[in-house]
Structure 1
Amino acid sequence: MAVERRTLIHDGPGGRFEGVFAWDSAHPGPRPGVLVIPNILGQKEEDNAKAEALAALGYASFAGDVYGQGKRTQRGPEASRYMDEMNADRALLRDRLDASLSALKAQPEVDAAKTAAIGFCFGGKCVLDMARSGLDILGGVSFHGVYDRPDYDNVSPIRTKLLICHGWDDPLGKPETVVALGQELTQSGADWQIHAYGNAGHAFTDASMRGSTIPGVAYEERADRRSWQAMQNFLSEVFA
């Protein structure tokens, strides 16, 4: 195994975008591709590490960027600055996600007919929006995502298979919100599953949130480990 990475810069709606592409160079020929969509903070090393972990599983992966080159934030009062802009224009967000997906599909190591997306927090919402809008992915995995619907209609049927990994104590995803998501996806004809993890809240995969004192927002090792395994099983089925 020889996992490598390269910086990938591409054009998209509103500017240029920069992420990191990872693949196993010891593996010959194209293989399924997985887009990694970051959380509220935007593209960062943690996302690149996820892309490398996916490459080690035999995929090619692109830790993408929907904010724009150089647009990154840190935790604090300004953390949601760029996310707020995207939440205010979900159609633009959709188009930027499509540009990231196109950049992934264009890589010679990727089988463009076999792609999926995973996302964390805001990135989990992005995965759902990709499915809702009919972007060309076979599967999507949302980790502690946000479930509010965009201001455009879902395609029907939703052809993207979906796995939603949810922390039951997530203050951003109350039980009634999770039920509403299931109803929405059923009405749209999606093949979906929701895994809810007890004693876990928002950001349960984010190791930088160990010891967090924010109610309902913290890293949780069991949910992190179990959801990553669930993702592996899901991708194996999607790409079979």
Structure 2
Amino acid sequence: MAIERTITLYDGPGGPFEGMAVADSDWGDARPGVMIVPNVLGPKEMDFDTAERIAGLGYHAFVADLYGQGNRATREDEDPARFMNALNADRALLRDRLHASLAAMRSLDGVDTARLAAIGFCFGGKSVLDLARSGAEVSGVVSFHGIYDPPPFANADVIPAKILVCHGWDDPLAPPEAVTTLAVELTAAGVDWQIHAYGHTGHAFTDESAKMPDRGLAYQPDADRRSWKAMTDFLGEIFA
């Protein structure tokens, strides 16, 4: 096994963008593509590590860049949410950048374009739900501790993607009423959906660097392990 990272530049609204493709150079056949959408901070080493784990499952991984080349944030910034907030204020632009990122993954050598998925964390979890809502031709999306409010415009008439939501029940950013509202939305849209809720678990439960339990943001190893297993099973099912 020879898993390699490749910086990938691509165009889109407000670009250029800098993604990261991760795959095994020993593969000789086309493999499903899994796009990874990062949290509020944008692409970083944690996301590249996740991409390597995805590649280890036998899939082409691609870390999407929704903010634009060079636009990155850290927890120490005065306003680490500035890039995210700009896209939250323009969900149509978010949708279009998601589609540009999906097109970039689709164009990678060795990606089976008939078998694509997207996973996202926090803001990325919200983003992949918007990707599904837009009617994108992906087999499925997985939202980890995402935010569930729909965009302020009509969704696609048909949402072809299957959806898995991995949620911390005590998440202060997505309280129980937001979860049930999402379930009602997806049911009305005829979506094949699952919601896995983890008790005594808040926001950012997959992020080992999340250490703000007083604000409901903390790593939870059991939920992290269980949600990764749920995702692995989900991808195996949709790509079978």
Question: If the TM-score is normalised by the length of the shorter chain, which range does it land in?
Answer: over 0.9
> After superposition, what is the alpha-carbon deviation per residue over 1:47-73, rounded to whole angstroms, capped at 9, x for unaligned?
111111100100001011000000011
Q: Which residue of 2 aligns with 1:167?
A: 168
| Cα displacement (A) at 1:79 | 1.1
Contact 2:136 2:160 in 1 (8 A): no
| SS of structure 2 residue aligned to 1:223 | helix
Instruction: State how far apart, in whole Å, the 1-side matches of 2:95 and 2:213 are.
Output: 33
Instruction: State how far apart, in whole Å, the 2-side matches of 1:26 and 1:212 are.
Output: 41
Q: Aligned-residue CA RMSD in angstroms? A: 0.9
Instruction: State how far apart, in whole Å, the 2-side matches of 1:117 and 1:213 are.
Output: 28
Number of residue pairs matched by the alignment: 239
| TM-score w.r.t. length of structure 1 | 0.97
> After superposition, what is the alpha-carbon deviation per residue over 1:15-71, rounded to whole angstroms, capped at 9, x for unaligned?
200011000112212100000000000111111111111001000010110000000
Q: Which residue of 2 aligns with 1:41?
A: 41
- Runs (4+) of structure 1 exceeding 3 A deviation are none
* Unmatched tracts of structure 2, length 5 or more: none
| Cα displacement (A) at 1:154 | 1.3
Instruction: State how far apart, in whole Å, the 2-side matches of 1:37 and 1:214 are.
Output: 26
| SS of structure 1 residue aligned to 2:214 | coil
| SS of structure 1 residue aligned to 2:86 | helix
Q: Which residue of 2 aligns with 1:157?
A: 158
| TM-score w.r.t. length of structure 2 | 0.97
Contact 1:2 1:25 in 2 (8 A): yes
Q: Which residue of 2 aligns with 1:114?
A: 115
| SS of structure 2 residue aligned to 1:118 | strand
| SS of structure 1 residue aligned to 2:191 | coil
Q: Which residue of 2 aligns with 1:148?
A: 149
Instruction: State how far apart, in whole Å, the 1-side matches of 2:55 and 2:110 are.
Output: 11
Letter in 2 for 1:220: Q
- Counterparts in 2 of 1:1-240, with a 5 A limit? 1-76=1-76, 77-209=78-210, 211-240=211-240
Letter in 1 for 2:53: A
* Unmatched tracts of structure 1, length 5 or more: none
Mean Cα deviation higher: 142-151 or 75-84? 75-84
